[in-house]
């Protein structure tokens, strides 16, 4: 069942419930009115009976004939019972099956008028005081006319209900088709969009704020994100293939060269060292890409653990010492309260980010001393500053250094790298909710700051 049919059926259902309530209330109130009207007629018949039988001796002939003329218009299956003070039937023949007892007669005498129903039959009783005594007159009959009217009303309302539902359903189907016609055209347009024409967009109506225009805007924004994602993926694959090709080509070239002829042990050692270097670079690149992919995955939730920032820094510097044995690093610790150095986060990820930042600082400081400073920031937070005195980053490149595989103009200085480090660092600090800022200027060095949230 499509949405058009669902809309038509649900609208018809709402209409059916509405009509059912309206017709039901109409029938209910008219039925109550009919019952009350017949009770009034029974009361009038009881009163006329009292006048005819009890006031006959006190009326002149003209007045008596008027009442008698009215009384001759009898109700269907009408029965009159007149009870005296002894609760005995008087003036009229007694009906043995009449549902009357002393308690009921006493209640009528107290209230003056009493209407009641027994086995679906309506009765009306009145208390009448006369010079001959006090009497209770009870009248009953069948409301054939009222019953016929109720039956006809129920039949008419039922027919109107069925006809109304059918008409409403047909109109709702027509309305649903007209309402969903723009959606059908949108679906047809969307189905024509593929990876070959992702730049296509759905046409929007000017000066329209309806839901259809909102849907078109949402779909266009989705297509923008999809196009951007596909283009980024294409560029990513292009960059990855290019970056992976370089170390792989070096490994293959060195291997083929070493197999070309017999070589000495020293020559084989040099070849293996070159292969090892390119393999390590290739492995580092792959691990960085996998880590970025993991950080983008919502299901990637490593455990948070407590660690000391200064101890983690010493471990990072110890590892970098093997890579840069000649590097000069000046470390300053400006924290009076050592408890502030106790953090809770993801130490492996934090160590990776610190390694990338310090590695870049050493590579581009060109044998100049770099400074690492741990100090207290605002709100009880701890900041780690890494500053070098290298050639710096051009101002127009600061926003690009976090792009994957991007290498700035300082790469002309032939420093090894593949443009993953800062991009990976940005993903890590965002994942760990660490403040990150970078400032630099050409020929004046670069300063990177990490601000760790307080425990």
* pLDDT tens per residue, range 374-402: 998 887 789 999 998 877 777 667 677 77
pLDDT in tens, 68-81: 555 556 788 888 99
**Phi then psi for 440, rounded to 5 degrees?**
-165, 160
Output the pTM of the full model: 0.49
Average pLDDT rounded to a whole number, residues 154-180: 90
Does position 92 have pLDDT exceeding 50, yes or no? Answer: yes
Query: What are the structural domains of the chain?
Result: 3-150 (3.30.450), 211-296 (1.10.287.130), 305-452 (3.30.565.10)
Q: Are strands 133-142 and 76-83 parallel, antiparallel or unpaired?
A: antiparallel
CA distance 101 to 81: 12
Q: Which two tokens stand for residue 143?
A: 């409301």
Per-residue model confidence (pLDDT) at position 156: 95
User: DSSP label at 341?
Assistant: G
pLDDT above 70: percentage of residues in the chain: 82
Question: In 3D, which of 280, 343, 281, 283 has the Cα closest to residue 313?
Answer: 343
The pLDDT tens digits for 343-362 are: 888 888 888 888 888 888 88
Using CA atoms, how far residue 74 sits from 39, 135, 222, 350, 394, in Å, is 14, 21, 82, 104, 113
Point out which residues pair with 334 in neighbouring strands. Answer: 375
- Give the pLDDT band of residue 103 (cuts 50, 70, 90): very high
Q: What is the DSSP letter of 120?
A: T
Quick check: 128 and 81 in contact, CB under 8 A? Answer: no
* Region of poorest pLDDT, from 15-19, 95-99, 414-418: 414-418
What residues contact residue 358 under an 8 Å CB cut-off, 6+ apart? 316, 317, 320, 329, 370, 372, 386
pLDDT in tens, 317-338: 888 888 788 888 888 988 888 8
Burial class of residue 420 in the structure, from the number of CB atoms within 10 Å of its CB (0-12 exposed, 13-18 middle, 19+ buried) = buried
Q: What is the pLDDT of residues 111-144, one digit of tens each?
A: 999 999 998 889 999 999 887 788 999 999 888 8
Question: 298-323 as b/e, with b when 16 or more CB fall inside 10 Å?
Answer: eeeeeeeeebebbebbeebbeebeee
Is the pLDDT at 261 greater than 90? The verdict is no
**Pairing between strand 329-334 and 370-376?**
parallel
Torsion of CA 91, 79, 123, 145, to 10 degrees: -150
**pLDDT tens digits along 410-449:** 554 445 556 677 778 888 888 888 898 888 877 778 889 9
Average pLDDT, whole number, for the chain? 81
Query: What distance in Å separates the CA atoms of residue 138 and residue 81, rounded to the nearest whole number?
Result: 5
Q: Are 355 and 450 in contact (CB under 8 A)?
A: no
Q: Is 329 left (phi over 0), alpha (psi -120 to 50) or beta?
A: beta
- Which of the two residues, 207 and 306, has the higher pLDDT score? 306
User: Could you say which DSSP state residue 215 is in?
Assistant: H
Residue 307: strand pairing partners? 343
Rounded CA separation 71/380 (Å): 104
């Amino acid at each position: 069942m499509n949405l058009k049919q669902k809309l038509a059926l649900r609208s018809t259902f709402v209409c059916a419930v509405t009509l059912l309530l309206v017709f039901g209330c109409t029938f209910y109130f008219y039925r109550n009115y009919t019952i009350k009207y017949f009770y009034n007629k029974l009361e009038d018949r009881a009163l006329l009976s009292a006048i005819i039988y009890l006031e006959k001796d006190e009326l002149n002939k003209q007045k008596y004939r008027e009442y008698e003329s009215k009384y001759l218009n009898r109700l269907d299956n009408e029965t009159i019972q007149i009870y005296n003070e002894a609760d005995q039937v008087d003036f009229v023949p007694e009906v043995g099956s009449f549902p009357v007892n002393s308690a009921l007669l006493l209640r009528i005498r107290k209230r003056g008028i009493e209407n009641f129903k027994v086995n679906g039959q309506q009765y009306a009783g009145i208390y009448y005081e006369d010079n001959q005594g006090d009497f209770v007159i009870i009248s009953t009959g069948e409301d054939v006319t009222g019953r016929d009217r109720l039956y006809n009303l129920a039949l008419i309302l039922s027919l109107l209900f069925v006809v109304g539902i059918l008409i409403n359903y047909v109109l709702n189907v027509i309305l649903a088709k007209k309402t969903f016609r723009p959606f059908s055209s949108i679906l047809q347009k969307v189905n024509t969009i593929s990876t070959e024409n992702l730049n296509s967009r759905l046409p929007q109506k000017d000066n329209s704020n309806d839901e259809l225009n909102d849907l078109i805007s949402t779909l266009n924004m989705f297509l923008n994100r999809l196009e951007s994602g596909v283009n980024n993926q294409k560029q990513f694959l292009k960059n990855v293939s290019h970056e992976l090709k370089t170390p792989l080509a070096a490994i293959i070239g060195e291997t083929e060269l070493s197999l070309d002829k017999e070589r000495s042990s020293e020559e084989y050692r040099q070849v293996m060292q070159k292969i090892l270097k390119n393999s390590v670079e290739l492995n580092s690149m792959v691990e960085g890409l996998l880590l970025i992919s993991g950080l983008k995955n919502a299901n990637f939730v490593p455990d948070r653990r407590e660690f000391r920032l200064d101890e983690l820094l010493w471990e990072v510097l110890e590892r970098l010492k093997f890579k840069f044995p000649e590097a000069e690093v000046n470390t300053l610790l400006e924290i009076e309260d050592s408890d502030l150095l106790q953090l809770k986060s993801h130490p492996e990820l934090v160590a990776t980010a610190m390694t990338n930042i310090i590695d870049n600082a050493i590579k581009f400081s060109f044998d100049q001393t770099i400074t690492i400073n741990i100090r207290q920031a605002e709100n009880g937070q701890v900041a780690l500053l890494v500053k070098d005195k290298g050639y710096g980053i051009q101002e127009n490149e600061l926003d690009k250094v976090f792009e994957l595989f991007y290498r700035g103009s300082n790469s002309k200085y032939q420093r090894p790298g593949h443009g993953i480090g800062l991009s990976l660092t940005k993903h890590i600090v965002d994942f760990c909710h660490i403040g990150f800022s970078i400032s630099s200027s050409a020929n004046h060095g670069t300063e990177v700051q990490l601000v760790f949230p307080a425990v």
